[in-house]
Amino acid sequence: MKIYLDHSATTPPDPEVALLMNKVQKEFWGNASSAHSFGLGARNILNEARDTVAFSLNCQPEEVIFTSGGSESNNLAIKGLIDAYHSNTDQKNNRATPHVITSAVEHHSVLDTVKELEKQGLIEASYVTPQKNGVIRVEDIDAEIKDNTVLVSIMYVNNEIGTVQPIKQIAQMIAKNNELRIMNNGKKSNVTEPNKHNSSFFIHNSGNKFAKQIYFHTDAVQAMEYFQTGVRYLGVDLLTFSAHKFYGPKGVGALFVKNGTPIIRQIVGGNQENKMRAGTENVAGIAGLSAALVKMHKAKADSKIEESGKLLPELILYDETKRLKQLRDKLIKGLMKIPDTRVNGCLKRRSPNNVNVSFKNAEGESILLMLDKEGIAASSGSACTSGSLEPSHVLTAIGVSPEWSHGSIRFSLGKHNTEEEIDRVIEILPGIIKKLRQMSPYGK
């Protein structure tokens, strides 16, 4: 029996999606930028897909930029906005450095991008630490906002521990700060008068878009299938997602850019994607993304959707999320019977498909290898870097000690997983942990 429990890494492409992509490759292979009929056919596919994404996100088609996936979208959102800031003529003669707020538990495509810009001296950065359960407090982000803050980037659902951040509430807090800036001539508060030597100087030019606006970006790569992602509902300016996380193809994703949000493209050499991303579009991949979205929405439309409760109102509680929650909770209950085991991350504000557990004094990579020999695919919360095992930055940020974090495993469920498969994992894993603890230097 082969058991795949690594859906947060990637999902198996839906067979119907793959068939459609093959058809598009064969019949609509023209360049969408070409004026002839071959190009028109490809362009029609793109336009239909853009309309589908716009419907899914409750936005306008022109606000959708197709990319190669989540990492590129995150780079475009962050670097594009910071480049726009530095290119703004109103910033040329001031000494302000734009300030970016993110969290210590972001995907590396956000964290590393922010750190790179910070190292280059292009931004100041604040890294908000979440609570021990992995959830970020809105007030902790608010406390970091300064007069020169231009961007907040917080992921919707954590890719490692599955915790769900209060994106809508963060957006509401940012909106209030933006209102205060307008009322106070660009400042968060009206306590001190600015001068040209402090960081708030740039915001006092009334013609400057950045003067009174903090923009909000969320990485929703892990959220699309199970959570509310309507951008008007969330209140975000920028939103990232990737097709291969919901049974679509790899190598294709999208970035929502709210009309009026200043972004400078990062790939030049063509006018594709509303002049926001140069390069011939991956028409078949984009068609696959669209088809996967359609199937996802059909599954929800065919289900009875229930209220998800006050603790996690963002969750769309339809047949599949209910089924996954039951499997997830059964797996957690079974694994917690193993001595010296803990669950990482909040249990109440958590993705329905995520189980991240740590086994004290066991080594995560060895657990994975032994699971793989049993036909079970999962992933580790640790990463092997330069030959040495380093604990997950997410687990470190929420205060998990090395003796626990080195033994962390992420099981992420999907639509093909069964109760029988969960029973198999619960049956196999105790013996693996016992054996590894006897062998591991961590257990001695």
Where in the sequence numbering do the catalytic residues fall? 384
| 183 CB-near residues (< 8 Å, 6+ apart) | none
- Token pair, residue 141, equals 């982000």
Q: How far does Cα 47 stand from its chain's mean position? A: 25
HSE-up of 117 (CA within 13 Å, CB side)? 28
Identify the CA nearest to 200 among candidates 237, 145, 154, 153. Answer: 145
* Rounded CA separation 126/132 (Å): 19
Please give the Cα distance from 375 to 181 (Å, whole number): 57
**42 contacts: CB under 8 Å, gap ≥ 6:** 28, 29, 30, 31, 32, 34, 281, 283
Which residues, including other chains, have CB under 8 Å from residue 241's CB and lie 6 or more apart? Answer: 70, 73, 220, 221, 223, 224, 229, 253, 254
Question: Exposure pattern of 114-143 as b/e (b: 16+ CB <10 Å)?
Answer: beebeeeebbbbbbbebeebbbbbbeebbe
In 3D space, the residue among 284, 213, 278, 299 whose CA is nearest the CA of residue 248 turns out to be: 284
For residue 261, give the amino acid letter.
Answer: T
- Calpha distance 147→41 (Å, rounded): 49
103 forms beta bridges with 128
Contact 122, 146 (CB under 8 A): no
Which residue is it, tokens 């010296």?
340
Q: Are 422 and 330 in contact (CB under 8 A)?
A: yes
Q: List Cα–Cα distances, 392 to 220, 240, 254, in angstroms.
A: 20, 23, 27
